[in-house]
Structure 1
Amino acid sequence: MHTKTLHQAMPIVATALARKFGVAVIVGGTQAQTDGRTIWLPDLPATSHLRPVAWGFLAHEASHVRHTDMAVFQTAGAASPLRQHLLNILEDIRIERAIRHQYPGTRATLERVIDWMLAEGQLKVPEVDAHPARILTGFLLLSLRARALGQTALIPHATAAEQVLRQTFPASLVHRLLGLMSRIGALTSTAQAAALAVQIEGLLEEEAKTPPTHQASDGDSGQSDEANDEEAGQGGPGVDPETVETDAETAADTSAADGGTNGDGASEQYDAEHPVDQVRQALAATADDLDGDLFEAVRQQLAELTAEGSSPLLLPAAEEANADALRGRIRLAEVQETSRTLITRLKGLVQASRLDRPLPVHQGRKLIPNRLHRAGVGEGRLFARKTARTTPNTAVHLLVDLSGSMSRQVTTSMRAYQVALEAGLALALALDRIPGVSVAVTAFPGESGDEATVTRLLQHGQRPAARAGAFAQSPRGSTPLAQGMWFAAADLLLRPEPRCLILTLTDGEPDDPALALSVIAQCEQAGLELSGLGIQHDVSLLFRHSRVIEAVDDLKQALFGLAERLLV
């Protein structure tokens, strides 16, 4: 484990952000990647300088998961390497604008990634002798991020990149390109971003057909350039005036930065030998001629710098258990007696605990006999008034061990895993009837026996009776208790209830006792309350509060004893 403060642990924070963004995240190992649905992050210590980078990567990839149509993106990008790179730049800008609108805090998160990339030399101004396609895309990336996203740290780089762009490409192309750039604020879909990439590529194709002798300078472009200037200034419908500069402003900035026109109105001159050739080279660019995806550098850096000393603990991914209706009815019938008994006893227990001693008051309907003698000395508070406490307001997570050893026979008719699943369902049914209690049930390991997964039998807010079929599970794999508790802790630390409890039902030692004890210690430090229920096995070395079920007949009393401590 990288941190002794569970609230700061990478998997906990990442899970919280994932729920906030509505995406799936797996933390552990050394890879930072996404498949378009799930995002993987390495586990980093709380003190790592890469943590802000990882959060920025998560925010960026989450915005892709939420807003990018991958089918459109892949189809449109397959047209040419240049088209793919243009689309990637435009789509990155569009989806980051979208997630910033939904979650304003991501603006600072993403800017910290840019600051890190600048410090690491990952973002640079294209050299004058670089491939024309790299000059074009490098300018677009820097300029759009500086102006459309307001990442002001990039403004000097964007200004310098524009100088290089103007030295490389014809003035008419630059003017028209700036006009198209102003449309970035109006993009609302991947398809629109792809269409804009096609338009930019189309500018190059048109320019490549223009004879060199017809290349106009800034000073003699005449009515055509005036029209282009108007296009750049207006920028099409829906342009965000706060984040997009007009072509006239951009041209003025550039003129001030690189000398622009001289005092008598003479225009800037371009090298007449190669502007069309440069355009043609840009159109013919291969993947090797272009820089890689901006966040690909982040992925690589996270992988390289976390390859050594990565956490041995992976926050498991959750798989949903299928709830078979027929098996659910059978399972409900099996636990009906146990659950009814628990419900009756727990309801009575909670109701009794919610009533305080009678409060003495000056008036009422019921006298307090042992206070009547005080009337002679002027005491007027002789009547009783009961005050109700608030509901428990508690979240409970039940963990059920389904390791291979749970297949052993504990009675002539039942195996250990059947006892555990019956206990879990019975307690979930009982707790669900208690106002102010939310319950979830998870089995570990997952159905494949892999420690990297757990099986969700019941989530908070679901009715246990409707999920009874999910409790028809079988033993598999070993006993990754640390991973199971890690998952339960991540779940509970994101709950609104002030009191959170983990109850573990198991029959043996964990795969890694030291790691399990480390997770347990961190859970306790984070304020989570833990209890263990051992099935013919003493778990007191793991849990401060524990019970042992020696026989199935002990199940009801053991469950009630634990629930009593948890709820009262």
Structure 2
Amino acid sequence: MSIDTARMRDSIAVTARLLAGENLRITMEGAQAFVQFDPTTYKPFRINVPALPDEATPELIQEIQGYLDHEVGHILFTTWEVVKAAEEAGLRSTHNIVEDCFIERAMGERFPGAAANLTRLHETFVAKITPELLREADDNEERRFHVLLVPFARALAGQWHFQKFMDTGGHWGNRRVRDLLDRLGPSVAARMPRLASSAECLEMAELWAGVIHASRNPTHRSKGMDAGKRPEERDSTSNISRPGTPSPADIVPDARDRTSARAPQTEANGGHSDIVGRNRPASQRDETERRRPHFQDPPVFGDDPFLDAASVSISDRGAALAKAAAYRVYTRDHDRIEPLELPNGFRHEYLVALGRHTASMTHVMQKDVERMMASHSRVSAVPGYRSGRLHAGNLYRLALGDDRVFRRRQVSTSTDSAVSLLVDNSGSMTGEKLQIAMASAYALSETLETVSVPHECLGFTTAPPWPDDAPGAPYETKIRYSRKQPIKMPIYKAFGERLTPGVRQRFAAMAVMQPGTQGNIDGESIGYAALRLASRKEVRKVMIVLSDGNPAGQGVRADLKAHLHATIKAVTEAGIEIVGIGIMSEHVREFYPRCLVLQRLGDLPACVMGELRRILTI
């Protein structure tokens, strides 16, 4: 587990939610990138990006952040009524090509960090995506022209990477590109960097579509004379904004076709959701499809050539990473770390019984810890008080009228340590093992709170697996995923909580009632706990894992075991000390370099005092 990669990976969805609000659902599932749209408003309601493995590079993560920032830009700055008008006029793709320039500029102005992410996406687009599309187009002039429309628009809008691409590649000399630029005229080109709304972008798209339509149909009236004029200045006979005029990107949707071919027919990728255009009345849908014949089967990705091509690139790289990764997760979206809800039927007597079973051990450990802390305490005499013991060195203050000539003894027992207790709550722990583990965690928590050591206590198990026929289930992909169950980590005590009666009840509920015990994905659970612990400001960080050993759950057992080894190594290298306590099992010795075995609850004080001594003294 790479803590830095995990932090960057988790920041993707968090950042997008902060930017776009609650109406946009961000998911990280499978290996594909795609967007789903509301069929009525045309507004995106879901963006999916690949569930990246630990091997994901910072460059790819930044590229995905750019992909999200692009779509969040639409959420923040697009006027969706205008998009609907563009759709009805058959200009949606052309409008998107133009509007993308506006919304990305607006994103960069409002969020400077988004500009860096979008720039990374631009670099990939001109270095990999566009050259590949041009190679596929070969000598087909029409296809090459459609490929060049995106960099052409962005270069006119002032995006440096696209300007350089057009310059160094000699693409300004492409006959169709040159003809379009000449027909538009300098005044229209100069407006591209200044577009400030979706309506202005639609106006520009109408100009583009009219000019391209005229150049494709020599008998059609040329728009070169009035293409640079605003709508109110055009001759009334001009049909630049003619509703039936097809946009250039609508005619040969190269990137969209390639993307659509990669979309699995599941709800996660749009197979069972409303797709733009499918839920309109039949007469309206038929009229739209008559004008745009390729829309007979609209793809889930919508009509954004730039975003569609980026989706293909990210999906290809995400799939390649997933297939090559040593440990593969379909999605982490359903993993939960939250306080344990007390089961129905919980009784106060359970807490009383837990306290009675652990009281003798807790008292022994607390006394030992207090003596240990006292022997390692730092004692100092602090001068400058008006009462206490007289400090001869400060008597000169009396001549100045200052009576602060006393000192006091201060004892500091701070260890600057933070501790995470992690308890295996899986089915194999059911019964006496889990009772011992929860009682031990409870006793350790009480002891650590007594000496004011910041700590938390978490459990780890799994939720029910995805059913085989669930939309987007990992079973429907060609990638063999290492786990097929969500992780569930109940919080018994968080760092910011005290051992109040309500917190103590969580320990008692799991110790006695043992609800929801299923599998145990040890590696990822330790990784989650390590991320929480790594965010603490204390210098020293220690994790104590109470488990019966082997990972178990629906997935690939060999992958789960190998990932546990790798995670313990990575966590240790990140500066977190990790100790395994085997609960009536020797299996911990296989995974934890520092470990001990607890066979009976009464052995806890003698078993763990050595580790507590290392934790509480430096």
Q: Identify the TM-score tier after normalising by the shorter chain.
A: 0.5 to 0.7
By how many angstroms is 1:392 displaced?
4.1
CA distance in 2, matches of 1:353, 1:96: 62
Amino acid aligned to 2:547: T
Alpha-carbon offset, residue 65 of structure 1: 5.7
User: Which one-letter code corresponds to 2:377 in the other structure?
Assistant: L
Match of 2:120 among 108, 112, 117: 112
The residue aligned with 1:532 is 580
**Structure 1 residues 76, 333: closer, same or farther in 2, change over 3 A?**
farther
TM-score calculated relative to the size of structure 2: 0.60
Quote the Cα distance in structure 2 between the aligned partners of 1:419 and 1:567.
23
Cα pair 2:338 2:490 within 8 Å, conserved: yes
Find the partner of 1:405 among 418, 428, 431: 428
Partner of 2:419: helix, strand, or coil?
A: strand
Q: How much has 1:544 moved relative to structure 2?
A: 3.9
Partner of 2:68: 61
Which residue does 2:250 correspond to in 1? Answer: 285
Distance in 1 separating the partners of 2:6 and 2:35: 16
The equivalent residue for 1:413 is none
Q: Aligned residue for 1:501?
A: 542
Greater shift, 393-402 or 527-536, is seen at: 393-402
Match of 2:10?
Answer: 15
- Taking structure 1 as reference, are residues 201 and 477 closer, same or farther at Cα in structure 2, changes over 3 Å only? same
| 2:191 matched residue in structure 1 | 179
Give the superposition deviation at 1:53.
2.9
The CA distance in 2 between the partners of 1:197 and 1:439, in whole Å, is: 53
Q: Residue 356 of structure 1 is aligned with which of 378, 399, 419?
A: 378
Contact in 2 for aligned 1:403/1:477 (Cα 8 Å): yes
Query: Following the alignment from structure 1 to structure 2, what is the Cα–Cα distance between the partners of residues 320 and 143?
Result: 48
Check whether the contact 1:133–1:290 (CA below 8 A) recurs between aligned residues: no
Query: Given the superposition, is the C-alpha separation of residues 559 and 441 from structure 1 closer, same or farther in structure 2, using an over 3 Å criterion?
Result: farther
CA change 1:533–1:358 in 2 (3 A) is same
Deviations 1:70-123 (A, max 9, x none): 998799479369654356546755665566457645544443343333332535
**Pair 1:71–1:227, CA change in 2 (3 A):** closer
Q: CA deviation at 1:356?
A: 0.8
1:85 to 93, 100, 117: 93
The answer to whether the Cα contact below 8 Å between 1:530 and 1:545 also exists between their aligned partners in 2 is yes
After superposition, the Cα gap between the structure-2 partners of 1:367 and 1:313, relative to the gap in structure 1 and judged at 3 Å, is farther
Distance 1:460 1:60, change over 3 A: farther
Is 1:520 matched up with 2:568?
yes
The 3 A distance-change label for structure 1 pair 15 and 481 is: same
Pairing partner for 1:302 from 311, 317, 320: 317
Distance, in Å, in 2 between the alignment partners of 1:79 and 1:537 is: 65
**5+ residue gaps in structure 2?**
19-24, 37-45, 257-304, 392-405, 467-482, 552-556
Give runs of aligned pairs for residues 255-404 of structure 1, distance below 5 A: 280-282=245-247, 285-286=250-251, 288=253, 292=305, 293-303=308-318, 305-306=320-321, 308-312=323-327, 314=329, 318-321=335-338, 323-324=340-341, 330=348, 333=352, 335-336=354-355, 342=362, 345=366, 348=370, 352=374, 355-358=377-380, 386-389=409-412, 391-404=414-427
Per the alignment, residue 52 of structure 2 pairs with: 42
Provide the secondary structure at the position in 2 that maps to 1:531. strand
Q: Give the drift of 1:310.
A: 1.7
1:546 aligns with 2:579: no
Distance 1:505 1:531 in 2: 9
**Once the two structures are superposed, what CA deviation does each residue of 1:173-223 show, in whole Å capped at 9, x if it has no partner?**
885575366224xx5xxxxx4x555444554677779997864545xx5xx
Give the C-alpha shift of residue 536 in structure 1: 1.1
Task: Measure, in 1, the Cα distance between the counterparts of 2:77 and 2:382.
Answer: 69
Instruction: Flag the 1:290–1:550 CA change in 2: closer, same or farther, 3 A.
Output: closer
Q: Any residues of structure 2 matched to 1:168-207 within 5 Å, and which?
A: 168=180, 171=183, 175-176=187-188, 179=191, 182-184=194-196, 193=198, 195=199, 198-203=202-207
* Separation of aligned partners in 2, 1:130 and 1:481: 52
8 Å contact 2:487–2:521 — kept in the other structure? no
Percent identity of equivalent pairs: 18
Residue of structure 2 equivalent to 1:455: 488
Q: Given residue 505 of structure 1, which amino acid in structure 2 is its aligned partner?
A: L
Closer/same/farther in 2, CA of residues 549 and 493 from structure 1, 3 Å limit: same
C-alpha distance after superposition, 1:213-254 (max 9, x if no partner): 864545xx5xx95768999xxxxxxxxxxxxxxxxxxxxxxx
In structure 2, what residue type is equivalent to 1:40?
A: P
Do the aligned partners of residues 213 and 432 (structure 1) sit closer, same or farther apart at CA in structure 2, a change above 3 Å counting?
same
Taking a change above 3 Å as real, the CA distance of residues 427 and 436 of structure 1, as seen in their structure-2 partners, is: closer
Counterpart CA distance in 1 for 2:107 and 2:612 is: 43
Q: How does 1:239-250 map to 2 (within 5 A)?
A: none
In 2, Cα distance between the equivalents of 1:230 and 1:351? Answer: 86
Q: Secondary structure at the match of 2:159?
A: helix
Cα distance in structure 2, aligned partners of 1:432 and 1:37? 43
| AA matched with 2:566 | S
Distance 2:379 2:164 in 1: 64
How many residue pairs match? The answer is 484
**Contact 1:43-1:310 within 8 A present in 2 as well:** yes
Q: CA deviation at 1:432?
A: 5.9
Q: Distance in 2 between matches of 1:453 and 1:304?
A: 21
3-state DSSP of counterpart to 1:324: coil
